[in-house]
């Protein structure tokens, strides 16, 4: 390892809460922190870096090729689709990520969306604001259907830490839990329900898988057509897992009973984004990619981020996605 101070560049500090503490690194270094970094600024900002920290700023092959000192890309998230991993491999750059930090925050958000939608909380709240309770002239009214989660079938795509945590909560609430088999039909064993059967039998479907070439548009027109029970769809994973136009059609046609979405393929979405057209629907909830963002989870992420960099510099690398 070089005795010279390492240059560490954080490209998008504002993607972590300002209340989050970034503990100092344990080795001599020069830290440059940027609140935001535009695509056309990346190459210049990382050119002399030994370590680059990024949460959502994309690292392309062309930018990485100019970073001749770069040793480590420390992703401040679990997903690494923002990094050209092949380019990192070609240049001998290690890539680390964050793991297991949101095993409470994400599942709690998932169930917050489920409860809100199954019990029509948003619709009833809006109707009270509009004076409907007074118009009803009795102690309650039944404008929107309410359904229990107990007894419903919860379909989970993804059996990692988050999927398993969601399953645990679902079972505690009296839900029947299904884990999805592969869309391509490959046999994954008796613990998994074949994908088409999974779609047909689920009352709620929640996504907890990475976005890659195999999972992009995992849910599109054909998949919605197979959802016999008109389920809720919950997506707190990645926007590209669900085809946006297909979701709009499924919502407008009543093919599904509602959707709780925390992630979009373009963040923030432009006003013309297809999902923005659904905001007038009481059975559609769009939150701004905050399922992961409890105070406790963000601090755990920040602590693990620093630990990852310290470990790599000390020669005991951990949470490595790709080792050169």
Residue position matching structure tokens 């963040």: 267
**Range 106-134 average pLDDT:** 97
Average pLDDT in the chain: 96
Q: What is the pLDDT of residue 91?
A: 97
Which residues are catalytically annotated?
238, 267, 289
Which sign does the torsion angle of CA 158, 162, 164, 168 carry?
negative
The CB-side HSE value for 124 (13 A sphere, CA atoms) comes to 14
Identify the DSSP state of 24.
P
User: Roughly what angle, to the nearest 10 degrees, separates helices 295-313 and 105-118?
Assistant: 150
In degrees rounded to 5, what are phi and psi of residue 220? -140, -160
Residue 1: band (very low, low, confident or very high) from pLDDT cuts 50, 70, 90: very low
**Range 287-303 average pLDDT:** 97
Asked, colleague to colleague, whether 6-101+295-322 and 105-286 share their fold, the answer is: yes
Percent of the chain with pLDDT over 90: 93
And the tokens for 305? 């981020």
Domain-wise residue ranges, the chain: 6-101+295-322, 105-286
* Cα three-residue angle 76-170-215, rounded to 5 degrees: 50
**Range 152-162 average pLDDT:** 96
And the tokens for 146? 């309410």
Beta strands in the chain (DSSP E): 6-10, 29-33, 51-54, 72-75, 94-96, 153-157, 176-179, 204-207, 232-235, 258-261, 284-286, 320-322
Q: Which residue has the higher pLDDT, 6 or 210?
A: 6
Q: What is the pLDDT of residue 224?
A: 98
pLDDT tens-digit readout, 41-99: 999 999 999 999 999 999 999 999 999 999 999 999 998 989 999 999 999 999 999 99
Give the helix, strand, coil percentages of the chain, each rounded to 5. 35, 15, 50
Q: What is the pLDDT of residue 322?
A: 74
Class of domain 6-101+295-322: alpha beta
**Range 193-199 average pLDDT:** 97
Residues in the chain: 324
Query: Would you say 258 and 203 are in contact if contact means Cβ atoms under 8 Å apart?
Result: no
**Range 273-284 average pLDDT:** 97
Per-residue exposure over 73-88, b if at least 16 CB sit within 10 Å of its own CB, e if not: bbbbbbbbeebbeebb
Q: What is the pLDDT of residue 3?
A: 65
Which sign does the torsion angle of CA 67, 69, 74, 80 carry?
positive
Distance in angstroms (rounded) separating the CA atoms of residues 263 and 172: 26
Distance of CA 152 to the CA centre of its chain: 24
Comparing 118-132, 159-173, 176-190, 243-257, the range with the smallest average pLDDT is 176-190
Q: What is the pLDDT of residue 2?
A: 46
Residue 115: Cβ within 10 Å count: 13
Class of domain 105-286: alpha beta
Distance in angstroms (rounded) separating the CA atoms of residues 14 and 293: 13
Using the predicted structure, report yes or no on whether residue 125 has a pLDDT greater than 90: yes
pLDDT tens-digit readout, 9-40: 999 999 999 999 999 999 999 999 999 999 99
Residue position matching structure tokens 């057209």: 277
Q: What is the pLDDT of residue 117?
A: 98
Residue 144: Cβ within 10 Å count: 15
């Amino acid at each position: 390892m070089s005795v010279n101070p390492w240059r560490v560049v954080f490209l998008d500090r504002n993607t972590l809460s300002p209340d989050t503490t970034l503990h100092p690194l344990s080795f001599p270094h020069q830290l440059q922190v940027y609140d935001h970094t535009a695509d056309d600024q990346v190459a210049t900002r990382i050119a002399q870096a030994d370590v680059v920290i990024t949460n959502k700023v994309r690292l392309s092959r062309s930018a990485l090729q100019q970073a001749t000192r770069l040793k480590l890309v420390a992703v401040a998230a679990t997903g690494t689709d923002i990094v050209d991993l092949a380019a990192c491999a070609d240049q001998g750059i290690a890539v680390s990520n964050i793991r297991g930090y949101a095993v409470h925050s994400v599942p709690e958000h998932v169930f917050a969306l489920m409860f809100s939608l199954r019990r029509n909380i948003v619709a009833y709240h809006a109707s009270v604001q509009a004076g409907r309770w007074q118009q009803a002239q009795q102690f309650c009214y039944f404008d929107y259907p309410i359904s229990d989660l107990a007894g419903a079938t919860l379909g989970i795509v993804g059996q990692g830490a988050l999927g398993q945590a969601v399953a645990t909560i679902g079972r505690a609430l009296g839900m029947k839990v299904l884990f999805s088999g592969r869309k391509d039909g490959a046999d994954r064993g008796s613990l998994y329900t074949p994908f088409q059967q999974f779609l047909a039998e689920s009352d709620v479907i929640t996504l907890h898988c990475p976005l890659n070439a195999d999972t992009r548009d995992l849910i599109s027109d054909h998949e919605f057509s197979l959802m016999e029970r008109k389920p809720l769809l919950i997506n707190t994973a990645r926007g590209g897992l669900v085809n946006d136009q297909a979701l709009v059609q499924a919502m407008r046609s009543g093919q599904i009973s509602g959707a709780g979405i925390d992630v979009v393929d373009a963040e923030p979405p432009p006003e013309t984004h297809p999902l923005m057209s659904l905001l007038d629907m009481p059975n559609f909830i769009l939150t701004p990619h905050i399922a992961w963002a409890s105070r406790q989870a963000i601090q755990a992420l920040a602590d693990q981020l620093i630990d990852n960099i310290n470990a790599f510099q000390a020669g005991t690398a951990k949470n490595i996605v790709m080792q050169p």
